[in-house]
Amino acid sequence: ASRPPPIPRPGPARPARTAPAMHGPPSGHPAPAAEGSERRPGSHKGFVEEMRFVAMRLHTKDQAPREGEMEESSLPISEWRPKQADYLQFLVDSLTVYDFFESAIAASSNPAYAAFRDSGLERTASLHTDIAWFTSRDFIVPEPTPAATRYVTYLEGIVEKNPPAFVCQWYNYYFAHSAGGRMIGRMMSNMLFDGHEFEFYKWEKDVKEILGEVRVKIDAVAAEWDRETKDKCLEETSLSFAYSGTVLANLAKAAEPEAAATA
């Protein structure tokens, strides 16, 4: 497999470019750089809007006609044809990443993370329920793939040393699941499980309401950052897409060719 173009940020075990991130864009592209003292797009609405703007520019034109700037994926989401076991692997990998996010935030003494505890976006309990559903149907639960463990290793390295980068990773991973992730979930449910509703895509209340509350919290945290710190957070966006894309690669599989007809 070919390697991705280098991402202009230090970090261990950078992921291969295998699938679009949950947001949809191809991974491995650097986030648009902010220069000088110019006002950043979206900054008049708060820092979350700045993050959203950078993320949307990493979408493809077909996914975000007005804001997307990336080339179209070689395997559009509409052509994904994973198997049930692939979806289970995706859930296991997702649990590995979400469990680290939630455990790290709960254990950290960094006051910046206090705002993200018990946010209502937590996914680990739901994922445990869904994986147990597979177990009850005699599926063998696999170990996490290297994609998930590499992502966690990267997060371990930044959670205390680089909180702005960690906040960017958290924001993109959780907010993406609440948007494009739900669309992908419906597609997988209808394609593979006769419309079964997985807990992974359910929240205690309207997820839009939860996201609005979390936006306020992120803006409050970012209000304490200077411009350089905010820009470092924004620069993490491309790497968050790249890592989440490797987890989503469990689903980004083309249909297997039909067996050749025998004479």
Q: How many CB atoms lie within 10 A of CB 77?
A: 18
For residue 6, what pLDDT band results from cuts at 50, 70 and 90?
very low
**pLDDT of res. 55:** 85
Beta carbons of 94 and 127 less than 8 angstroms apart:
yes
- Residue 56, pLDDT > 70, answer yes
Q: Look up tokens 């992120």; give the residue.
A: 218
- State phi, psi for 28 to the nearest 5 degrees: 90, 5
pLDDT class of 5 with cuts at 50, 70, 90: very low
Q: What is the pLDDT of residues 218-234, one digit of tens each?
A: 999 999 999 999 999 99
pTM here is 0.82
- If one counts every other C-beta atom within 10 angstroms of the C-beta of residue 258, the result is 6
- 259 contact partners, CB below 8 Å, separation of at least 6: none
User: Residue range 10-31: average pLDDT?
Assistant: 42
Partners of 101 in the beta sheet? none
Q: Which residue in the block uniquely carries the two structure tokens 């992730």? A: 181
Say whether pLDDT at 108 is over 90. yes
| Interacting residues of 138 by C-beta distance below 8 A, sequence separation 6+ | none
**pLDDT at 179 (0 to 100):** 82
pLDDT digits (tens, 9 = 90+) for 151-161: 999 999 999 99
| 242 phi, psi to nearest 5 deg | -65, -45
Given a cut of 70, whether residue 257 has pLDDT beyond it is: yes
Rounded CA gap, 234 and 34, in Å?
9
Share of the chain above pLDDT 90, in %: 63
**Mean pLDDT across 48-52:** 90
CA-to-CA distance for 39 and 45, rounded, in angstroms? 12
Q: Is the predicted pLDDT of residue 62 greater than 90, yes or no?
A: no
